[in-house]
């Protein structure tokens, strides 16, 4: 506990923003779940209403202005690690069945992706869709999969345990920018790795440390306008952001200049100017309006 406190103090004491273009976050509302809950992911809509996926109860509840408006509960949703909305359907990281499931808008399962023929139990923790393919982070196997959505065949795999280019150390969250470049956070690799959709190395962002532009346990990531990268740290609780070239821009603050701090960031999601931050340890989901960019 003392080590964590020291790390947080050091990080927040030395991350002054020197860039003129600052992003601030205005809190719209915060949802606090009960003790018997495990918020694992969130879907923020263009009107700031937000759906919260609770892995403990297997429920998905939509909140508007902080008040629950509807809820759906499914037994198979218990214990998952992600629930990603893509168009009119959802992708669910099914940790129990070791599959990535496609769900209807009402959360009924209609298709599943696996990792047939690959060594190790498939352990998806996040996914993005592009050009008829689904890209997923296979956490326990330290790899990224490219799966054809029609045939369900895994057409390409990159990774393996390691810290070299195109290797991963517990990849967790994913995002894709305007150019189709994939961003992958590595929890123990303490960096974000950028790779192309064809699995070519692009660049690294960050490294282990507590200085600005460094990470201790990078977890949730999200892109604003497809170009500004936000990285949440599951250990320090800070959210840092970077420009399209991976240059450090600052630590996310509220409109009063106070740095945002969470107990343990898991997933972060952005839609337009709205961002939802899932704080697993605190059992909360906070919804912000981001300002300071076009």
Q: What is the pLDDT of residue 244?
A: 85
pLDDT at 173 over 60: yes
Q: What is the pLDDT of residue 157?
A: 98
Q: What is the pLDDT of residue 98?
A: 97
The strand ranges marked E within 169-217 are 171-176, 182-186, 191-195, 201-205
Q: Which of 14-28, 80-94, 130-144 is predicted with the least confidence, judged by mean pLDDT? A: 14-28
Residue 6, classed as helix, strand or coil, is helix
d(CA 205, CA 183): 9
Please name every residue paired with 265 in a beta bridge, in sequence order, or none if there are none. Answer: 279
Q: CA torsion angle for 144, 145, 149, 151 (degrees, to 10)?
A: 180
Domain 2-291 has CATH 2.120.10.30: yes
Q: What is the mean pLDDT of residues 227-235?
A: 96
Task: With CA atoms as reference, report the closest residue to 26 among 270, 258, 241, 224.
Answer: 258
Q: What is the pLDDT of residue 293?
A: 61
d(CA 216, CA 219): 10
> What does the buried/exposed string (b/e) look like for 5-27 if buried means 16 or more CB atoms within 10 Å of the residue's CB?
eebbeebeeebebeeeebbbbee
Q: Which of 145-149, 158-162, 188-192, 209-213 is predicted with the least confidence, judged by mean pLDDT? A: 209-213
Q: What is the pLDDT of residue 210?
A: 85
Report the relative pairing of strands 218-224 and 228-233 from DSSP bridges. antiparallel
Q: Which residue has the higher pLDDT, 3 or 236?
A: 236
Q: What is the mean pLDDT of residues 40-68?
A: 98
Place of tokens 């998806």: 124
Residue 10 makes CB contacts below 8 A (sequence gap 6+) with: 210
Q: What is the pLDDT of residue 21?
A: 67
Q: What is the pLDDT of residue 50?
A: 98
d(CA 62, CA 1): 35
pLDDT at 19 over 80: no
Q: What is the mean pLDDT of residues 28-43?
A: 97
pLDDT at 13 over 60: no
φ/ψ of residue 116, rounded to 5: -60, 135
Strand ordering across the sheet containing 109-113? 82-86, 89-94, 99-103, 109-113
* Residue 117 near residue 154 (C-beta atoms within 8 A): yes
């Amino acid at each position: 506990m003392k080590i964590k406190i020291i790390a947080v103090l050091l990080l927040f004491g030395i991350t002054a923003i020197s860039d003129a273009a600052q992003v601030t976050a205005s809190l719209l509302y915060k949802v606090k779940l009960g003790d018997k809950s495990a918020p694992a992911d969130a879907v923020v809509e263009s009107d700031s209403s937000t759906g919260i996926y609770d892995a403990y109860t297997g429920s998905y509840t939509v909140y508007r202005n902080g008040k629950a408006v509807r809820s759906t509960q499914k037994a198979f949703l218990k214990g998952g690690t992600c629930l990603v909305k893509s168009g009119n359907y959802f992708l669910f990281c099914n940790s129990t069945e070791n599959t990535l499931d496609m769900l209807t808008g009402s959360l009924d399962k209609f298709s599943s992706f696996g990792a047939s023929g690959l060594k190790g139990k498939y352990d998806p923790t996040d996914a993005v869709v592009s050009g008829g393919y689904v890209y997923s982070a296979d956490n326990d196997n330290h790899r990224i999969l490219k799966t054809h959505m029609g045939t369900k065949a895994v057409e390409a795999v990159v990774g393996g345990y390691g810290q070299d280019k195109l290797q991963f150390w517990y990849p967790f969250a994913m995002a894709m920018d305007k150019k189709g470049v994939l961003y992958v956070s590595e929890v123990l690799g303490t960096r974000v790795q950028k790779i192309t959709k064809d699995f070519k190395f692009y660049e690294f962002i960050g490294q282990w440390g507590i200085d600005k532009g460094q990470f201790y346990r990078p977890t949730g990531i999200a892109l604003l306008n497809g170009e500004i990268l936000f990285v949440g740290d599951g250990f320090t609780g800070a959210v840092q952001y970077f420009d399209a070239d991976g240059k450090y821009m600052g630590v996310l603050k509220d409109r009063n200049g106070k740095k945002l701090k969470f107990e343990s960031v898991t997933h972060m999601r952005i839609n337009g100017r709205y961002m939802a931050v899932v704080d697993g340890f605190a059992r909360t989901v906070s919804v912000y309006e981001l300002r300071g960019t076009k």
